[in-house]
Structures are given as structure tokens and as C-alpha cells.
């Protein structure tokens, strides 16, 4: 199956799904603005479809990591997303606006499938030695989608009306279904006994049950002394002394040794205190609950992931504030609300070109440097957009794209390098959900403020983007070497301590 699925099919499906997602945001804002005539309700609609990603991301990541066919799950998420967009369009002007926002919130649960859910499956599509190039191409699909999505939304809305822009976004998401359904199957990855929170450590050999330390020494132990003879008149020892002693616990927690009996190994997923399958259900429930938090623990515990996630999330808040200002920028500066989508296309063009340059020279800058420096460039661009000049506005969006594209590619590099294999789906979907939630918070905050003062909303967005750089350095870097036994993202069987150290 893996040989039949090509990288080209993966990229085509990712572009279609992500273009539909990028088109859905401006299309919903334009449709809400056309029906309600207020940027507050339009931004509330966008916030509703993106804010719920904080709940959907970790759950989707845990299910993807457990699924033998993750493509089937991704296809179901795409169906949910496309159906929800159609329901939102049908409810605008017919249902109470609060109900429409609730439908948008349910639709947004599948949002991380279009971003982090796809990217997490990339190592199963290409071999390890081709992963760096495939990672850069995957990051370029976001820029390509951001280029075509808003442009199509503005063009269709101006030619046929804002509701047809939403219909076009639904069609694009539906086009990605075959590519998602046929993603390669993978065998479930068994957890290793290595500690996956914080700095990774070399994995010691495990016991037969897969857990616990080995014997401390391989040298043969001296033979036990034979029992002394019983003297006349002395009470004989008990016939079964093993029954009068506590069971001996071995180094492996799932192996219990009783003196005088062979070692008994407890089967995984079974509990000694439950019978009739009830222990299986309890174990699965506890395991799922632990898996839902595993991605968050990894992101928090590993400084490189924590720094990259925090800085990129703060930048996404600023990007959401800028997106909420786009209809008013198009109406007041460019002469039409539909023309505001062209500004997002300008940012997408520059992001695509900048990411292509970064893919040509992937080692020119450290990923951490690209993340915090890109936030500062975005801050300067947003501040200049508040001047109100059409030419300066276009240049500001071009500069914003030049920072956003490489920043996203650098974030993917850090995630692939730091995420354990069995938790990669959770790390990507949890990180995507956090970023989408930050985008929603920014859009919901800037919408009412932009109605009162558009320059004030842009300056606030610039201040938030500038805060991403100190937020990155607020988390102390871990200088300890990370000795890992998992495959390196570049495909080498292992990595030197300096290769995996958090030096960014």
C-alpha cells in the first residue's frame, strides 16, 4: 500500500483540503457581512468555526495515533467539515444567529484534520531520507492554499455572491476525500519504556512484558544453601512454605513471582481485580484519557516544542486580528469589501516564495531563529498597515507573508524533530488546535474593535505579534543532549547528541 501511495497524491489532497479551509474563512465572513451588515457578527461566525478546534484537536490526534487506517478517520473528518459548512450557509438568515454560530462551533471540531492531521501522516508516505524535502513541500501547500483560497473566495463572491463562495469551499474539501481515504495503513506503534516527557534518555533493555528494568547483573548468582536437617524433637517446617510468604515482585511490574510456583505474567489490558471484560473497558478508558493528555505533556515538557508552540500561537492571534480587519480594509482603503480578500492572496504569494527559498537553503537559519524573527517582521508590517495608504497596505501584506511562510516551515521542522513517533499525531493536532484557537481569539477580539477604530485594531495586532518574540525566549532552552533511539527525521538510524539538542 505504501508503494502505491505517492507524495504527489498526498500533496494534491492536502492542497485541496487546505484551500477549501482557507476559502471557508473569508467566504463565511463575506456571507455573514452580506447578511448581517456588521463585521461583529461576521467575525463571530469565523470565531465560532475556529474556537472549537481546541477540543477537537487532542481528541482527533489520540484517535489518529490509535487507528490502523488513519486515512479513513481523516476522510470522516472532511465529511463532517464539508457538511457543517453547508449547514452554516443554509442557516444564515433563516435560523437565529446564535444557532448558526453553534453549528459553526460543531463544524470546527474537524478543523485540525485539515492541518495537523494531514501533516502527521507524512512520515508514513515518504521514507525518512526524503522527509526534509517533503516537509518543505508540505509547508508550501499551506501557502498555496492561502493563495488560492482567499482569491477564489473574493472572486466567486464578487462574481456570483458570497453564498456561492461557501459552496465552492465545500467542493474543494470534498475533492480531498479520495486522497484522505487511501492514505497508507500503518501498524499500531507499541509504546516504549523510555520516558517521553522532557528530555529523552537512552532506552535500556526491557523485560519480556515490555516494561521495567532488566536484571542488574548478568553474572550467575551463587546457589542457595540447602535446608538444614531437622533435629530429633524439633518441629518440622511447613510442607508448603511458599504459601506463608508474600509474593515476590520482580523488576517487571506485570510479572508476579510466587515462591514455589512458576512466574506468572499478567496479560496486557487485563486487570486481576476485574472479570468478564470490565477490566478491558476500564483500561481502554484510562488509556484514552492518558493519550488525550500525552500530546500536551510532550509539548510542555520539551522546551523546543514549548517555545515554538507558544511563539507561533501568539503570532496566530495577531494573524486572526488582521483577518478580522480584512473586510473593512478592503471597503475603506481599496473601495470594496470583496477586494480585501486580494490582500490575503498577496500575503500568500510572498509566503509561498519565501518558503521555496527556505526549502532551497534549509540550513541557512535555525528553526528557532526563523520563528521569533518572523514574529517581529509581522509586527512591523501590521504597524505600517495602520497608515491607511493603499500602496503601504499591499507592501505590509507582502511582508507579512514573507514572515508567515518560513515560520510555519520552521514549526514543522521542530515538531518532526521533537515529537515521538507514537505521539506524532497528537503533537501535530494539539499544536494545530492551539494555533487555530489563538486565531479565533484574535478574530473575535479585533472584530468589535475594528468597527470602532480600524487603526487601533491593527496597532493592537502589531503589539501582539511583537510579544511573540519575548514569549519565545521566556521558556528556557534545554542544553542537555537528547539521546534518542527513535529514527531521526532525516532518516538516519540515530542522531548525535548535538543533532537533537535544544539549541535553538
Per-residue model confidence as pLDDT tens for the chain (504 residues): 345 678 888 889 989 999 988 888 888 888 887 776 666 777 778 778 877 777 777 778 778 877 888 888 889 999 999 999 999 988 888 888 889 889 988 998 887 878 777 888 887 888 766 777 777 788 888 878 877 887 788 788 888 888 899 999 999 999 999 989 988 886 544 444 444 444 444 444 444 444 444 444 444 455 555 455 545 554 555 554 444 444 444 444 444 444 444 444 444 444 434 444 444 444 455 566 666 677 788 888 899 999 999 999 999 999 989 988 888 888 888 877 767 777 887 888 888 888 888 877 777 788 889 999 999 999 999 999 988 889 999 999 999 999 988 898 888 888 878 888 778 778 888 887 788 778 878 988 888 898 889 999 999 999 999 999 999 999 887 655 444 434 333 333 333 333 333 333
Task: State whether residue 241 is helix, strand or coil.
Answer: helix
The residue to which cell 477604530 is assigned: 453
CA 272 to chain CA mean position, Å: 37
CA 382 to chain CA mean position, Å: 26
- Residue 180: count of CB within 10 angstroms of its CB: 28
Question: In whole angstroms, how large is the CA radius of gyration of the chain?
Answer: 28
Q: How far apart are CA 128 and CA 22, in angstroms?
A: 29
Q: How far apart are CA 136 and CA 413, in angstroms?
A: 9
Phi, psi values for residue 248, rounded to 5°: -90, 130
Phi, psi values for residue 257, rounded to 5°: -110, 125
Q: At a CB cut-off of 8 Å and minimum separation 6, what does 445 contact? A: 321, 324, 460
Q: Which neighbouring-strand residues pair with 249?
A: 256
Please give the grid coordinates belonging to residue 353.
Answer: 516564495
Please give the grid coordinates belonging to residue 368.
Answer: 528557532
Please give the grid coordinates belonging to residue 106.
Answer: 460543531
Q: At a CB cut-off of 8 Å and minimum separation 6, what does 370 contact? A: 358, 406, 407, 409, 410
CB-side neighbour CA atoms (13 Å) of 156 = 21
Q: 491: exposed, middle or buried (C-beta count within 10 Å: 0-12, 13-18, 19+)? A: middle
| DSSP code per residue over 205-217 | PPPTTS-S---S-
Please give the grid coordinates belonging to residue 208.
Answer: 519480556
Q: Which neighbouring-strand residues pair with 264?
A: 256
Q: Could you tell me if 477 and 503 are in contact, meaning their C-beta atoms sit under 8 angstroms apart?
A: yes
| DSSP code per residue over 393-459 | HHHHHHHHHHHHHHHHHHHHHHHHHHS-GGGHHHHHHHHHHHHHHHHHHHHHHHHHHHHH-HHHHHH
Amino acid at each position: 500500500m505504501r508503494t502505491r501511495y505517492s507524495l504527489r497524491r498526498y500533496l494534491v489532497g492536502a492542497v485541496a483540503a487546505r484551500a477549501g479551509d482557507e476559502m471557508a474563512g473569508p467566504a463565511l465572513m463575506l456571507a455573514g457581512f452580506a447578511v448581517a451588515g456588521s463585521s461583529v457578527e461576521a467575525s463571530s461566525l469565523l470565531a465560532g468555526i475556529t474556537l472549537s478546534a481546541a477540543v477537537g484537536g487532542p481528541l482527533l490526534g489520540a484517535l489518529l495515533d490509535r487507528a490502523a487506517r488513519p486515512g479513513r478517520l481523516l476522510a470522516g473528518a472532511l465529511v463532517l467539515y464539508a457538511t457543517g459548512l453547508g449547514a452554516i450557509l443554509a442557516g444564515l438568515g433563516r435560523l437565529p444567529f446564535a444557532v448558526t454560530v453553534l453549528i459553526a462551533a460543531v463544524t470546527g471540531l474537524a478543523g485540525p484534520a485539515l492541518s495537523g492531521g494531514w501533516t502527521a501522516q507524512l512520515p508514513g508516505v515518504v521514507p525518512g531520507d526524503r522527509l526534509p524535502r517533503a516537509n518543505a513541500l508540505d509547508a508550501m501547500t499551506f501557502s498555496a492554499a492561502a493563495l488560492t483560497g482567499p482569491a477564489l473566495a473574493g472572486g466567486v463572491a464578487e462574481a456570483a455572491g458570497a453564498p456561492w463562495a461557501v459552496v465552492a469551499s465545500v467542493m474543494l474539501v470534498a475533492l480531498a476525500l479520495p486522497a484522505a481515504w487511501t492514505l497508507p495503513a500503518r501498524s499500531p506503534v507499541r509504546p516504549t519504556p523510555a520516558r517521553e516527557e522532557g528530555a529523552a534518555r537512552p532506552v535500556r533493555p526491557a523485560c519480556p512484558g515490555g516494561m521495567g528494568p532488566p536484571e542488574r547483573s548478568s553474572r550467575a548468582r551463587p546457589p542457595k544453601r540447602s535446608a538444614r536437617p531437622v533435629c530429633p524433637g524439633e518441629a518440622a517446617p511447613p510442607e508448603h512454605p511458599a504459601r506463608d510468604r508474600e509474593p515476590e515482585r520482580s523488576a517487571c511490574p506485570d510479572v508476579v513471582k510466587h515462591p514455589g510456583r512458576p512466574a506468572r505474567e499478567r496479560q496486557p489490558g487485563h486487570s486481576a481485580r476485574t472479570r468478564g471484560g470490565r477490566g478491558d473497558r476500564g483500561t481502554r478508558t484510562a488509556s484514552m484519557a492518558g493519550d488525550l493528555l500525552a500530546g500536551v505533556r510532550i509539548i510542555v515538557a520539551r522546551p523546543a516544542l514549548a517555545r515554538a508552540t507558544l511563539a507561533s500561537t501568539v503570532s496566530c492571534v495577531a494573524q486572526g486580528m488582521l483577518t478580522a480587519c480584512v473586510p473593512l480594509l478592503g471597503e475603506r482603503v481599496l473601495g470594496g469589501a470583496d477586494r480585501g480578500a486580494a490582500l490575503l492572496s498577496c500575503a500568500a504569494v510572498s509566503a509561498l516564495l519565501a518558503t521555496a527559498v527556505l526549502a532551497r537553503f534549509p540550513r541557512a537559519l535555525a528553526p528557532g531563529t526563523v520563528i521569533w524573527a518572523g514574529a517581529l517582521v509581522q509586527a512591523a508590517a501590521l504597524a505600517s498597515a495602520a497608515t491607511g495608504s493603499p500602496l503601504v497596505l499591499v507592501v505590509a501584506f507582502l511582508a507579512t507573508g514573507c514572515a508567515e511562510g518560513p515560520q510555519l516551515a520552521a514549526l514543522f521542522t521542530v515538531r518532526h524533530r521533537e515529537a515521538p513517533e507514537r505521539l506524532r499525531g497528537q503533537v501535530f493536532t494539539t499544536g494545530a488546535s492551539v494555533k487555530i484557537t489563538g486565531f479565533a481569539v484574535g478574530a473575535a477580539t479585533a472584530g468589535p474593535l475594528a468597527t470602532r477604530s480600524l487603526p487601533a485594531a491593527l496597532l493592537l495586532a502589531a503589539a501582539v505579534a511583537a510579544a511573540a518574540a519575548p514569549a519565545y525566549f521566556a521558556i528556557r532552552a534545554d542544553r542537555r543532549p537528547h539521546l534518542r533511539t527513535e529514527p531521526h527525521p532525516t532518516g538516519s538510524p540515530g542522531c548525535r547528541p548535538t543533532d537533537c539538542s535544544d539549541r535553538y
